Amino acid sequence: MTGRQCCEAKDPVFETAHNDLHNLFPAIGEVNGDRSNFNWGMVEGNKREYGACPMEIDESIRRAEPPNAVKGDVARVMFYMEDTYGFRLSDQDRKLFSVWSKQDAPDAWEIERNQRIAKIQGKDNRFISQYAGAASATPSSNTKPAEDIVNAKPSSTKITKQGFSCDTKKTCSQMSSCEEAKFQLKSCANTGIDGDGDGVPCAKLCK
């Protein structure tokens, strides 16, 4: 017995995390199967193969990008899982999820769902309930200052004086300059344009 089956049988923390209602969502079988255990992230281009469901999955890099309407939901679950179970997020993931959480604030259903789960499990997702940065919010010992960004009120789409924004452009071929590529990487957490992870986007543009 190896991998997930072993964890489910031998690790009570894994089993609790696996069954945590905050981490469970209904999903279309085909999409869930294709997504597998790929990392969340930005997918270059428009790899949308599920009809009206704007989910993007790139098997070649084992990465999945959720629809814009639920990116914040995904981010807040990831922060909750780290906060509750000590699963460590990379700095790159933390920056990406912080951007997603700001761009997609909790809606009425996410808030209601959180409250319902809290009544059942006795614990809410504070990254939803304390989203506006309530004074009572106290980071736990295994969280990092990035939560201050997560809990901040969302701002309107950022547009620079050069006209750059996080709305549409994703690939290096769509960038007008190295400056725009750097904006996409740093302000939009578009990690897909930094293939080797060295912090320099679009090598051909930013030589």
Co-location of 64 and 110 in the same domain: yes
Give yes or no: residues 134 and 181 share one domain: no
Backbone angles phi, psi at 107, to 5 degrees: -95, 180
Domain count, the chain: 2
Q: Minimal CA–CA distance to 102: which of 90, 94, 111?
A: 94
Which residues, at least 6 apart from 29, have a Cβ–Cβ distance to it below 8 Å?
A: none
Asked whether the CA dihedral 21, 104, 97, 133 is positive or negative, the reply is negative
Considering the domain architecture, whether residues 125 and 165 belong to the same structural domain is answered as no
- Among 112, 129, 155, where does a domain finish? 155
Backbone angles phi, psi at 52, to 5 degrees: -80, -5
Confidence of residue 3 (pLDDT cuts 50, 70, 90): low
The parent domain of residue 175 ranges over 156-207
pLDDT tens, 86-125?
888 999 999 999 999 999 999 999 999 999 999 999 999 9
Same domain, 88 and 182: no
